[in-house]
Chains A and B, each alone.
Chain A
Amino acid sequence: MPDIQNYTLNFGPQHPAAHGVLRMVLELDGEVVMRADPHIGLLHRATEKLAETKTWVQSVPYMDRLDYMSMMCNEHAYCMAIERMLGIEVPIRAQYIRVMYDEITRILNHLLWIGAHGLDVGAMTMVLYAFREREDLVDCYEAVSGARMHAAYYRPGGVYRDLPDSMPQYRESKWKSAAEVRKINEVRSGSLLDFLEDFVKRFPKILDEYETLLTDNRIWKQRLVNVGIVSPERAMQLGFTGPMLRGSGIAWDLRKKQPYEVYDRLDFDIPVGVTGDCYDRYLVRVEEMRQSNRIIQQCIDWLRVNPGPVITDNYKVASPPRANMKSNMEELIHHFKLCTEGMHVPEGQVYSAVEHPKGEFGIYAISDGANKPYRLKIRSPGYVHLSAMDELTRGHMIADVVTMVGTIDIVFGEIDR
């Protein structure tokens, strides 16, 4: 009798569930995966190297393009690294704004994740529901930075500018009648904070809606429960962070364990899983969205009553106010120096990490005192999680590979950098 051999299947990069450009070589025994070998590099843009050729501020927009689903969180880690090296203090209002936008970003990311995960497992309605809510949140991005995705809103020393008093409005068009436009503009008539507060009030109900569709759904549970189990010890050995680690039952969250900005003043909980399977990670992420919602509400309340500067007054780091520049020699020189050669960061090295929606996102920067980083290293959570792909999928079926890709919450921008 001839030997029956396993066969290999090329999964991706052109595959509907590849989440971009994931390529995996699967060794299959029938439908059972014997070995999964993820290949990366198809979205490599050399961000780390590019940063060495740009002034410190010029690299901020590159950070958006790392994990392009949680843009501002990437910026946050990068700006925080520079601030720590400079040893400057960020104004308290800017810290609140950053925290608020970090949490908006977390919801944005998790909404995309729940949609994509649903789509992978076959619940295609989820993705459209999630995008309906994402629409409101990217509007918040747009209101504050002008861009709906790649915001470049955080700057070393604070944020680009204060929250706007008005929201972008829909205009009447061939597709939207006057009555329709009036209806959707109603919540957009106030300031950004009003709009966001309206969203925060609506959002828990919307999450309940998602959960009625998925959480107790028999098929959803059959597909997720006891699939891709990672024990707490193994999760730590593999270097998991974020929901992947918390899904395994370890309450590790940088926002609690190493609080940055104003997280220590805010009231929120860290959900953890029990068994460490895909279903637990699903529950953890859904609960994280609820907690983020709570944080946003607290930030809104604080920001409403506490006006103040949103960027540092150290003109070696951030531009002086425009009005002063017109009348004051000193300020003009600062502006000129910042716009030509940029800021100089003192010699040294720093590692700064934030609790990114996907895990611990860290920036390790070395400065030799010039206006550019000497070396920049990005620690992306997705890269670490993807390396566990083989261990997660071994012994499962092809359909579970797709579930696993979903549960890891892969975005290739950060993995390939």
Chain B
Amino acid sequence: MAFLKVFVRKAIGGLVMIFVVASFTFFLIRLMPGNPVTTKLNALLATGTPYPIALSKVSVMYGFVPNQPVWQQYLTYLGELAHFNLGESISYTGVSVTHIILSAAPWTIIMVLTGVIVSFVLGVLAGVIAAVWRNSWIGQSSTFLATFLHGIPQFMLALVLAYVFTTVWRVFPFGAPYNAAIQPGWTPAFIGSLAKHAVLPVAAYAISGYGGWALTMRSSVTSVLGDEFILAAELRGLTRGMRLRYIARNAFLPLFTTLTLSLGFMFGGSVFIESIFDYPGLGNLLTTSIGAEDYPLMQGAFLLITTAVIVANLLADLLYTAIDPRIRRA
């Protein structure tokens, strides 16, 4: 029961956050120098569109009518948002923002989650190695590698990967999520192409997250190793494998707090990784929408990225509560 209560409280917190971010972007657009809503309205009027038609076009685009008082526009906006209506895109004329961002979302979410899982598995293994063999060369080089990779910014990683593996040594294709010559579908050729194009971006996500996991796991394992119950286990004559299981189960828990930070970092990194590898995900959408001054699209992409992070955090919390009985009881 307590489990459910914790979940509901966190879910409400998440909803409040989404609401704050949605309100923030609403007022942000109104604060902009040369308010894009009036700019768009004037542009339409200048092309000879009659006023009522221009007004209705703009209201469709932004999901509200520009001549209403702000608080009324805000209420309309929130009402539309509750129906997942984010207005129409400006650069893709006549296409709804919801449609565009929902078709972009899978690219980002799948890539980020794959990256998180790969970096998690590798990083945790490296962290255990670094802690258990911390006095030998293997542990020390593992720590060094993690520290080094942890310090490299994502765009640099992605640029170097792209340069080395597509320009200098042409092993992977550059740009685009799949070969445009292949018909999309559940065919082996298409899936193969998809996988081949995904290797470098996933590698960029994974390497950028790897160091953080390895370092957190290393310090966590090191502190558990010093715990008295491990000494007791050793004195009781438990096998090494058994002791490692004890250590792993306890050292694992602090990683869940890192997960929260990591998810935000990874989704934020999609901005770089997607523009460098030309992936049609949310991050790429965000940067291109700003270049095109497509504010409804920008608003939608930002909102969805934030929502993805919040939902992912919620799931991580849920997992944590399920795993650690101490949290459940608290």
Same complex for A and B? Answer: no
